[in-house]
Structure 1
Amino acid sequence: MQEQIDPSELDITDELIAERRSAEPGNLPDDMPPWMANTISKIDAFSLIVGKTVCWMLVPMCLSMVYEVVARKYFLAPTMWAYDISRMLYGALFMLGAGYALSRGVHIRADFLYRNWSERAQGIVDTSLYLAFYFPGLFVFMWTSTDYAWTAVDRGERGMDTAWMPYMGPIKSVLPIGALLLLIQGVSETLKSFYAAYTGRWPR
């Protein structure tokens, strides 16, 4: 006989960490300074718009993959472009949606220690890590990826691993754009963590 699990005994700490960041933009505590609330709201609203726009890339990505499968299996007419289109759209979706994912707290986390800390301690650690590693790392990444993308555009670089040989400039350009979106959202997340460090509670 299958053992019944009491829902109250389930550890949902990780889910609660993500859930604390799932409120709609603008739903912030009344005691938060207006400049901070205004900045967070505008950035979160921007990331939400970007996320809703970027998600539409799923449609052409799925259509290209379905077309390739049908053409190859039933008409013996494989395409040269479907593979490249699908992987490029997937890469663009991943990079351009990263800022939105951060705003929703759905990036992969290693929370086996963090989740047991007080909210004040979490805020202090998050603020410190954003300032010490997140922003410097992303600035370096954006700088190098901008040069990487510009070189591809300037030289008319083409992919050499498939027969279609697509131009690589457009897809490489999403790297610095994605980094910029992460930097923008990082400002909002840093302010939220600073609020938690100062007040001992996360903005809901």
Structure 2
Amino acid sequence: MPRFLVMFVRITEAVNYRVGRIAMYLIFVLAAVLMWSVISKAFFRPALWTQEMAQFTMVGYFVLGGAYSLILGANVRMDLLYGRWSPKTQAAVDIVTIFALIFFLATILWGGIESTAYAFEVGERSRTVWRPYMAPIKIVICTGVFLMLLQSVCFLIRDIATLRGERI
């Protein structure tokens, strides 16, 4: 494989690994927000921001950890026949199916970028009592989808290398 593709795969996977490891700690932020929600409802006036902040935190946790879970192979796969195939057959099938994932992620990213641009243009806010701006969470979603898209391209490069008898 060309050296620039090998470097692309290594750099992309290093970034996705680190972002995923950092995103894992968002579960503690989520727990703290929910704990504050319970405490404020029990002893003080209920906080208006906790439910939506918990939702935003969960979205960040889920989306930013997506590429990391792809690296670890934690995604769901129907392994009825796949596990019995040779690595080259698996790579050939993955090359065909990865295009569906890349198309799906590219479509979501395109729509997400348009939605984020709209949020900036009109100053879009949530329709709840708290009324936070929506652009920051949309940026997080687009970033996570972009990282998953890059990781999918890395999988495509790895599968092509496998078919060529090379290893990255």
TM-score normalised by the shorter chain: which range applies?
Answer: 0.7 to 0.9
The Cα shift of 1:164 comes to 1.4
- Check whether the contact 1:114–1:122 (CA below 8 A) recurs between aligned residues: yes
User: Residue 70 and residue 48 in structure 1: after superposition, are their counterparts in 2 closer, same or farther (change >3 A)?
Assistant: same
Q: How many residues align?
A: 168
Greater Cα radius of gyration, structure 1 or 2: 1
The one-letter code matched in structure 2 to 1:112 is L
Equivalent residue of 2:25, what SS? Answer: helix
Q: Secondary structure at the match of 2:164?
A: helix
**Contact 1:138/1:183 (8 A) holds in 2:** yes
Question: What do you get for the CA RMSD once the two structures are aligned?
Answer: 2.1
User: Which structure's residues are more often helix, by fraction?
Assistant: 2
Q: Equivalent residue for 1:190?
A: 156
Q: Could you tell me which amino acid in structure 2 is paired with residue 85 of structure 1?
A: M
Give the AA of the match of 2:60: A
Tell me the equivalent position of 2:109: 142
What is the identity percentage for the equivalent residue pairs of Structure 1 and Structure 2? 26
SS in 2 for 1:192: helix
For 2:71, the equivalent position in structure 1 comes to 103
TM-score (norm 2): 0.87
- Runs of 5+ consecutive residues of structure 2 not aligned to the other structure: none
Alignment of 1:71-110 (within 5 A): 71-73=40-42, 75-110=43-78
For residues 150-175 of structure 1, the C-alpha deviation after alignment (integer angstroms, 9 at most, x for no partner) is 11222121211x32122211112222
Q: Does 1:168 align with 2:168?
A: no
Find the aligned partners of 2:85 and 2:60 in 1 and give their Cα distance: 35
Moved more, 79-88 or 146-155: 146-155
Q: Matched residue of 1:110: which SS?
A: coil
Return the TM-score normalized by structure 1: 0.73
Shift, 1:181, TM fit? 0.7
The answer for unaligned runs of 5 or more in structure 1 is 1-31
